[in-house]
Structure 1
Amino acid sequence: MLNWPDYRKELVSRIGDIGKLSPDTVAGYQTLSNAAKKTGKLDAKTRELIALAVAVTTRCDGCITVHTAEALKQGASHEEIAEALGVAVALNAGAALVYSARVIDAVGAYESKS
């Protein structure tokens, strides 16, 4: 497994390098990242729990390290994190079922052309 705190430091450093090479890219990302905070409809902990579930579904280690640290900072408990991850697991399984249905549909389409 990773040393997540060290990985986060290295990642932030590399993103800083990208920011020097392409400042508009990083600025654009930061604008997107901060947009949800402006509505005030969800608290910071809830946003971080959602971010963790999305990080799992998108398989993003960088997102996992950043949002784990932030979720803990915002007071998320182990149980809350586990529940958010349970949602991610359920959605991944659900997505697999949806795409399985698409495969069955494709099979039918190809068989009807034969």
Structure 2
Amino acid sequence: MVVNWQESLGEAVKALGALAKGNPGIMDGYKALDGAGSAHGALDLKTRELISLAVAATTRCDTCIAVHAKAAAEAGASREELLEALAVAITLNTGAAFVYSSRILEAYDTFSKK
């Protein structure tokens, strides 16, 4: 195992707890936002967790990965479903790099004109 995800999650919970204790308003604000974003409606919990993991891949958040991998497994997400969600994240990141590469080329061309 490259990362001990259970240990990482425990350490993150402690660190975030210390932050919340030092500034309770931060935790209150986060809980309000999380509650609003977690309201169950059109998407079931498993789908929401798969989306969360795809986003965690694009934002590169190890704590998000640990939290949502655990939640996705508990929600009954299959490995195949996770692989499909991650394929979407990978494709989107590739597309974004392609689009931004064209923007970079345009910016370069603008600045290199004499």
Q: TM-score, normalised by structure 2?
A: 0.93
2:45 aligned partner: 44
2:28 aligned partner: 27
Give the gaps of 5 or more residues in structure 1: none
Aligned-partner Cα distance in 1 for 2:78–2:52: 15
Q: Which runs of 4+ in 1 moved over 4 A?
A: none
Aligned-partner Cα distance in 1 for 2:77–2:46: 6
The residue correspondences of 1:13-24 to structure 2 (distance < 5 A) are 13-24=14-25
Superposition RMSD in Å: 1.1
Give the gaps of 5 or more residues in structure 2: none
Cα displacement (A) at 1:37: 2.6
The code of the aligned residue for 1:80 comes to E
Q: Deviations over 1:20-77 (max 9, x none)?
A: 0011111211211121232512111111100000000001101000000000010000
Identity %: 48
Aligned-partner Cα distance in 1 for 2:99–2:25: 37
1:102 aligned partner: 103
Secondary structure at 2:43 match in 1: coil
1:66 aligned partner: 67
Q: How many residues align?
A: 113
Aligned-partner Cα distance in 2 for 1:51–1:39: 14
Q: TM-score, normalised by structure 1?
A: 0.93
Aligned-partner Cα distance in 1 for 2:59–2:40: 24
Deviates more, 1:30-39 or 1:95-104: 30-39
